[in-house]
Amino acid sequence: MAGSAAASTAHDAPLSGQRTSSIGLSRLAHILNARDLAEASPKLQPGRVFRSGSPAQASQEDVMLLRKELGVQQMIDFRSSDELREDTAWSLMLSNGVIKTYDSSGSVVEVAVDRNAALYGLELKDIQLHRLPLLERNKVIRGMMTKLPISKLLWAGFYKLTGNEESMRDAIIPEVNRGGLLLIYQILVDTSQAHIARSLQLITVGLEQRQPCMFFCKLGKDRTGLISALVLSACGVSEDEIVADYVRSDGVHEVALGGIEKEGDLRGVDDSIFAAAPPEAMRGLIQYCKDNYGGMREYMEYIGFTRDQQLTLRRCLTEQW
């Protein structure tokens, strides 16, 4: 599978001083950038929350590790609707499970997944997949309208109306590249607040029921990195530890911005910028939350993940079961 070499780089080579879990996620053959979130800080109990790239192409051995050995029962998918079209193998990972898709109003559509014949005779715990897209194209474009220079947006709009796509990109792409990952992260925290809050609540409710959780996007770097940072912040993990966990994804060497990087409007963004996971991107996000919301925990409270819920999440991840 493309990216398997990157998977090894991303989760097998922690930074100096970074904890490694005894849980053998390096055995995952078809899941990129997977690790136990507890590796970020000694405050956290291992085996409760995992982060990764998409497990949609998981092998039977991957499924057995995640569902049988680790007992994962809650999965949260942050990928966009465009990225979901790439899926082919969920019937194995989600055998006898349920897919729940959430829209921006909070409505939920449930679909049951049949038991996969390859897993007959195996006793596996129930599993649910929650789909909460965080980088849909319309939200990103709307977010950019508030972040990019108005003069550039006006010229881009003019070129778009006159059918001059190349000039439109020439007006916008340098600004997007200049904003870099921090621009995308700012747009995420500003435009996907309901889904971010719901994600944190689902993680918390699952852990209260002692159900291990795995959350992911396509590569396990940007959207997954944001949610990881918020979970770690709720648990009282230091900023340095949050940043150190984030930069472990620097070895992925791919770009995944919800599919918008492939669209005509934004085609041509600098891959070397958006494939990286530099510490300054996460430090910039933390500072952005301080400047605009009061801090990471204040941001979570602002979007509806209350202080009591944060304390519950902290207990679930730091105390013995």
Across residues 277-304, what is the average pLDDT?
99
Q: How does pLDDT run across 51-73, given as a tens digit for each residue?
A: 999 998 899 999 999 999 999 99
Domains and CATH numbers, the chain: 4-318 (3.90.190.10)
Residue by residue, DSSP assigns 227-261 as HHHHHHHHTT--HHHHHHHHHGGGG-----STTGG
Question: pLDDT-based confidence at 12, cuts 50/70/90?
Answer: very low
- Locus of tokens 């770097």: 221
Alpha carbons 315 and 321: distance in angstroms, whole number: 10
pLDDT at site 22: 55
pLDDT at site 159: 84
Mean pLDDT is lowest, of 29-38, 54-63, 151-160, 180-189, for 151-160
The type of residue at 45 is: Q
Question: pLDDT-based confidence at 86, cuts 50/70/90?
Answer: confident
pLDDT at site 265: 64
Cβ proximity of 216 and 227 under 8 Å: no
Mean pLDDT is lowest, of 106-110, 130-134, 161-165, 223-227, for 161-165
pLDDT at site 4: 40
Q: How does pLDDT run across 251-283, given as a tens digit for each residue?
A: 888 998 888 777 666 778 899 999 999 999 999
User: Which is more confident, 25 or 214?
Assistant: 214
pLDDT at site 153: 87
- Locus of tokens 């929350």: 49
Q: Indicate the pairing of strand 108-112 with strand 49-52.
A: unpaired
Q: How does pLDDT run across 142-173, given as a tens digit for each residue?
A: 898 899 889 988 888 888 899 888 888 888 88
